[in-house]
Amino acid sequence: MTETWDTIADWYAELLRTGSPLNDFNRDTLLAHLPDELSGHQVLDLGCGEGIITRALAARGATAHGIDPSTRLIEHARTAGTPGPGTVSYAVDDGCVLGTVADHSVDWVTAGLSLNHVPDLDAALTAVRRVLTPRGALVLSVPHPCFEAPHASWTRLADGTHRRVVGDYLAEGFWRSADPRAVRRAGNRHRTLSGYLTALLRHGFTPETVDEPAPTAPVIAHQPRRAGLPPFLLIRARAPHDSPGPAG
């Protein structure tokens, strides 16, 4: 069976709800690039999945809208409720289109581990720029391109420690993990570090923060091999000054 985000949706929602230190770490690191207080802020969560980041945005007071192309994941998000004091809403939508989001209507776009799934990064950044208010910002995280390249594996050294083995860093494009327990069995679009940065620059975004966070103690306790490597790359990038304002 060829897995898709819809076919692994129940598994993914269960994984996150029973506690995934890596996904909790991603959420917390991504939110560290946004203000603590988001009351009055409109935030789009692109590729929201079952809503782990959308709910956290609402907990900071945001009016948070999550979109995802997986109908099943959006069903899970809707059943998870709203933590408040902000609000959440959800829609099935494609991050390359953002057809449910009005022009220049959001102050922030978060994209947690999702831009590495969109088939067309230029289309997604065009859509993100369209929906952001002038000087709004995109905060994205992706699996670290250097260490999570296609088919990266682990090797065990004589002293019992592990090292990441990466061989296909320059092989940009779609790949699928053969590991039946891996998230990326549903597929993944690998792009290089320069691929992400030059795409942001091409679309007029200004990177403001770039983060390669050290894994936390809960992540290392869960996956000791990850000690010493940043699992994610995070970038906060400001939309161009000249983004046209809302119509009228």
Ligand X SMILES: C[S@@+](CC[C@H](N)C(=O)[O-])C[C@H]1O[C@@H](n2cnc3c(N)ncnc32)[C@H](O)[C@@H]1O
Residue 44 interacts with ligand X (CB under 6 A): yes or no: no
Per-residue binder mask for ligand X (CB under 6 A), 166-195, x = binder: -----------------x------------
Amino acid letter at 60? R
Residue among 212, 91, 240, 74 nearest 142 (CA): 212
Per-residue binder mask for ligand X (CB under 6 A), 47-86, x = binder: xxx--xx--------------xxx--x-------------
Residues 6+ apart with CB under 8 A from 66: 44, 45, 48, 51, 53, 54, 74, 77, 88, 89, 90, 91
Nearer to ligand X, 88 or 118 (CB): 118
The count of residues interacting with ligand X (CB under 6 A) is: 23
Least distance between ligand X and beta carbon 16 (Å)? 6
User: Restricting to residues 2-21, which ones interact with ligand X according to CB under 6 A?
Assistant: 5, 16
Least distance between ligand X and beta carbon 6 (Å)? 8
Least distance between ligand X and beta carbon 51 (Å)? 8
Which helix (DSSP H) or strand (DSSP E) does residue 78 occupy?
helix 71-79
Tokens of residue 134, six digits = 């002038």
The CA R_g of the chain, rounded to the nearest whole Å, is 18
Report the alpha-carbon distance of residue 154 to residue 165 in Å, rounded. Answer: 6
Nearer to ligand X, 50 or 107 (CB): 50
Name the residues that contact ligand X, by CB under 6 A.
Answer: 5, 16, 23, 26, 46-49, 52-53, 68-70, 73, 94-96, 112-114, 117-118, 183
